[in-house]
Chain A
Amino acid sequence: MLRRTIPIIILSATGTMLVVAYFSPFTLSWGETVLDWFNILAAVAFVLGAGNLLAVNLEKVSSRKAGWAYAAITLLSFAAMFIFGIFKVGAVPNPSAPDVHLAGAYEGLPSAFGWMYEYVLSPLTATMFAMLAFYVASAAFRAFRAKNVEAILLLGTAFIILLGRTAAATLLTGWIPVDSAFAVLRLDNVTTAVTEHVSTAGMRAITIGIALGVAATSLRLLLGIDRSYLSKG
């Protein structure tokens, strides 16, 4: 009862309430309340994640496992960022209430939290993603082989898009007059045509497929047919 029936009732009731709230103006405020609760729980989930991170890393440090020094760095950086943010260290006061310290903005550069974001988190995240350029190029070089029609289409389109979005497009096909009948052959025009018509069609069909899948899965959950989440306890 407590482990299976009540969770199923909670799931069906909240989901159905949100669906009904969409169609009925009388239950609109119920839906808004449920959404508020959902946002609160999502914020609590961050606390849960942080708790997990602390537990794993503290265990590593206390048992001196391999790489415990890195775990210590994670813990220290977490603690520093957390304290800076929660206590709004160095925050500029709120002009409407300068006597209330915690009313100031915790983000932005003069604050310690803002400094950590600007000079630690932001460069690290951007560089991590930037580095993927090398790995994507490397993987493409190893995996792309024009051995059949499908592979040629994939490779050719990627090549055209890469050329068309750079100065190479002007360099290679810039000599074709814009108002001539052959203007469609200019690489920038070919790129636009491919993205606007062909790949949009493909993406549209994928989106429709995903939408049908999401709707079916949601219905299975709301009707209590899919109960796989119950095993997570």
Chain B
Amino acid sequence: MSAHSSSDSNNSASGDSSNAQASRWIWIALFAVGAIGLACNMFLRQDGLAIRHVEITSAERVQARVVIGAGADSLAKPAQLTSDAAPLAIAAKIWVEPQDPRFATGEITRVDGVAPVIWETQKLLTRKEAAANEALQTHGDGKPAVVGANELATAAPDMQISFADTFGVWIAAFLTLAIFSFLYRDNPIYKVAESLLVGVSAAYWMVNGFWTTLVPNLFAKIAPDLVRAYAIPGLGVSEHPQQDMVLAFVPLTLGFMLLWRLAPKGGWISVWPLAFIIGTTAGLKLVASIEADLIAQAAATMKPLVAYASTTDSSGNAVRAVSVWSSIGSIVGIVGVLSVLVYFFFSIEHKGLTGKAARVGIWFLMITFGSAFGLTVMGRITLLAQRLEFLFYDWLNLS
């Protein structure tokens, strides 16, 4: 018996070993074929390196002082003074373009001793746009270049290779393939991609929460001057700054209490903010679910069983006629909602008429689930197609 089991375990061990060896060879073959294909694509085909181009435009701002009196509304409507949308609620000094027409009218004057700020903005170009720009730059004679069927503008914009974006496309392609490698089996490359995803997405949501919620809603109330100086220059001035500051300490305290969960002792302290969160959710959901889900859905169900449609008779007069399909649709809708609700009603036994109605309800539910399943699969396949498009078109340029 023991000899038998020993031979079994030996067989299993040798099977595992041969499986591992086969797996290794599969990976080696896959990498070899992939590397050769990639090398051929990179060096033998045009645009095989997935090089990305950006259009460079430079921007410049100079600091200007608003001349009080020159523009009566200048300080009352500071948002209009800036060339961009962000309002500067308390700024007497503003940043404007050097060619701002208000310099000429005397509404604003240049602040001496402050250097202008110059920076570049980049616009990522598609392959087609890059090819068109390249054609323009190659011509260089001011005549319109023709790429394909499109005649393009004469002025060639400043375009250059973007190494960051080119590298980004390669990284994105590698990560896409790394995730797809899980379809074969769990492997270290997939695990690297998975770990990256966890770290990056956690930081993404944290940074988003910091800049979109904590800074404008919390820090801006506790230290408005600091926030205005270092993060949100367009921060408005509150009418009740003291009250805002005192009130802001409530969520700040609750926030610290919530973070107490990370401490080894006193975890119960976090129950207070948790109670606040649950209470808020319950209060919001109680009203929202009754209004938006219960009442709205019930109202949408109550349609006339016989539906009419406007049409024209043989002499061209507008008449109302019974729309058979719409009527059937209404009846099916009402029967479906009622029968499914009967199925969900567990306080009475599903026997007799109730049982039959509940059975019809199950059929409706099955059709609903089948439809949801079909739509989910379609959605996932669309995503898959997009990833494949990225690999074949954006990365390998096999279009």
Q: Which of B199, B285, B287, B334 contacts A78 (CB 8 A)?
A: B199
Residue-wise interface mask of B (381-399) relative to A, using a CB-CB cutoff of 8 A (1 in contact, 0 not): 1011011001000000000
Is B200 in contact with A78, judged by CB distance below 8 angstroms?
Answer: yes
Would you call B332 an interface residue if the criterion is a C-beta within 8 Å of the partner chain's C-beta atoms?
A: yes
Question: How many Å from the CB of A106 to the closest CB on chain B?
Answer: 6
Q: Which of A38, A47, A117, A158 contacts B370 (CB 8 A)?
A: A158
Question: How many Å from the CB of A45 to the closest CB on chain B?
Answer: 7
Is B275 in contact with A211, judged by CB distance below 8 angstroms?
Answer: no
Decide yes or no: A140 and B293 within 8 Å by CB, A11-B278, A39-B217, A95-B59 being known contacts: no
Is B275 in contact with A229, judged by CB distance below 8 angstroms?
Answer: yes
Q: Which of A15, A49, A130 contacts B384 (CB 8 A)?
A: A130
Q: Which of B221-253 contact A (CB under 8 A)?
A: 229-234, 247, 250-252
C-alpha gap A214/B172 in the complex (Å): 41
Considering the complex, give the chain A residue whose CB is closest to the CB of B87.
Answer: A96
Question: How many Å from the CB of A2 to the closest CB on chain B?
Answer: 8
Q: Which of A123, A124, A140, A196 has the most CB of B within 10 A?
A: A123
Q: Which of A156-191 contact B (CB under 8 A)?
A: 156-162, 165-166, 184
Is B247 in contact with A33, judged by CB distance below 8 angstroms?
Answer: yes
Which of B34-42, B142-150, B259-267, B309-317 has 4 or more CB atoms under 8 Å from chain A? B259-267
C-alpha gap A13/B283 in the complex (Å): 10
Question: How many Å from the CB of B312 to the closest CB on chain A?
Answer: 16
Residue-wise interface mask of A (25-44) relative to B, using a CB-CB cutoff of 8 A (1 in contact, 0 not): 00000000111111111111
Q: How large is the interface on A (under 10, 10 to 19, 20 to 34, 35 or more residues)?
A: 35 or more
Question: How many Å from the CB of B163 to the closest CB on chain A?
Answer: 11
Is A50 in contact with B251, judged by CB distance below 8 angstroms?
Answer: no
A130 contacts across to B, CB distance below 8 A: 380, 383-384, 386-387
C-alpha gap A52/B294 in the complex (Å): 38
C-alpha gap A125/B197 in the complex (Å): 7
Would you call A147 an interface residue if the criterion is a C-beta within 8 Å of the partner chain's C-beta atoms?
A: no
Decide yes or no: A150 and B201 within 8 Å by CB, A124-B196, A200-B333 being known contacts: no
Is B164 in contact with A124, judged by CB distance below 8 angstroms?
Answer: no
Is B367 in contact with A41, judged by CB distance below 8 angstroms?
Answer: no
Residue-wise interface mask of A (211-233) relative to B, using a CB-CB cutoff of 8 A (1 in contact, 0 not): 11011011101100000011011
C-alpha gap A130/B344 in the complex (Å): 34
Is A40 in contact with B207, judged by CB distance below 8 angstroms?
Answer: no
Considering the complex, give the chain B residue whose CB is closest to the CB of A195.
Answer: B371
Question: How many Å from the CB of B64 to the closest CB on chain A?
Answer: 12
B290 contacts across to A, CB distance below 8 A: 211, 215
Question: How many Å from the CB of B54 to the closest CB on chain A?
Answer: 9
C-alpha gap A37/B20 in the complex (Å): 55
Is A198 in contact with B277, judged by CB distance below 8 angstroms?
Answer: no
Which of B6-14, B23-31, B68-76, B116-124 has 4 or more CB atoms under 8 Å from chain A? B116-124
Question: How many Å from the CB of B289 to the closest CB on chain A?
Answer: 4
Decide yes or no: A121 and B200 within 8 Å by CB, A98-B61, A126-B383, A153-B363 being known contacts: yes
Q: Which of A70, A99, A162 contacts B95 (CB 8 A)?
A: A99
C-alpha gap A202/B344 in the complex (Å): 11
Q: Which of A80, A102, A131, A158 contacts B377 (CB 8 A)?
A: A158
Is A205 in contact with B124, judged by CB distance below 8 angstroms?
Answer: no
Q: Which of A128-165 contact B (CB under 8 A)?
A: 128-134, 136-137, 140, 149-151, 153-162, 165
Would you call B347 an interface residue if the criterion is a C-beta within 8 Å of the partner chain's C-beta atoms?
A: no
Decide yes or no: A97 and B169 within 8 Å by CB, A116-B200, A140-B373 being known contacts: no
Is B204 in contact with A117, judged by CB distance below 8 angstroms?
Answer: yes
Q: Which of A85, A94, A201, A210 contacts B335 (CB 8 A)?
A: A201
C-alpha gap A12/B276 in the complex (Å): 9
Question: How many Å from the CB of A184 to the closest CB on chain B?
Answer: 7
Considering the complex, give the chain B residue whose CB is closest to the CB of A136.
Answer: B377
Is B207 in contact with A85, judged by CB distance below 8 angstroms?
Answer: yes
C-alpha gap A6/B269 in the complex (Å): 11
Would you call A17 an interface residue if the criterion is a C-beta within 8 Å of the partner chain's C-beta atoms?
A: yes
Is A50 in contact with B276, judged by CB distance below 8 angstroms?
Answer: no
Is B361 in contact with A197, judged by CB distance below 8 angstroms?
Answer: no
Q: Which of B213, B278, B333, B341 has the most CB of A within 10 A?
A: B278
Is B206 in contact with A160, judged by CB distance below 8 angstroms?
Answer: no
Is A43 in contact with B209, judged by CB distance below 8 angstroms?
Answer: yes
Beyond A52-B262, A162-B377, 5 additional contacts (C-beta under 8 Å) are A15-B280, A40-B255, A154-B366, A206-B365, A208-B298
A residues contacting B by CB (< 8 A) are: 2-3, 6-8, 10-19, 22, 33-53, 55, 67, 70-71, 73-82, 85-86, 92-100, 102-103, 106, 109-110, 113, 115-134, 136-137, 140, 149-151, 153-162, 165-166, 184, 193-212, 214-215, 217-219, 221-222, 229-230, 232-233
Name 20 A/B residue pairs within 8 A (Cβ), A-sorted. Answer: A3-B271, A14-B283, A15-B279, A36-B217, A70-B194, A82-B207, A97-B86, A102-B231, A119-B171, A123-B172, A158-B377, A196-B329, A197-B333, A205-B336, A205-B339, A207-B293, A214-B293, A215-B285, A222-B282, A233-B268
Q: Which 7 A-B pairs have the closest CB atoms?
A: A201-B336, A202-B368, A161-B374, A157-B370, A18-B283, A85-B207, A77-B199
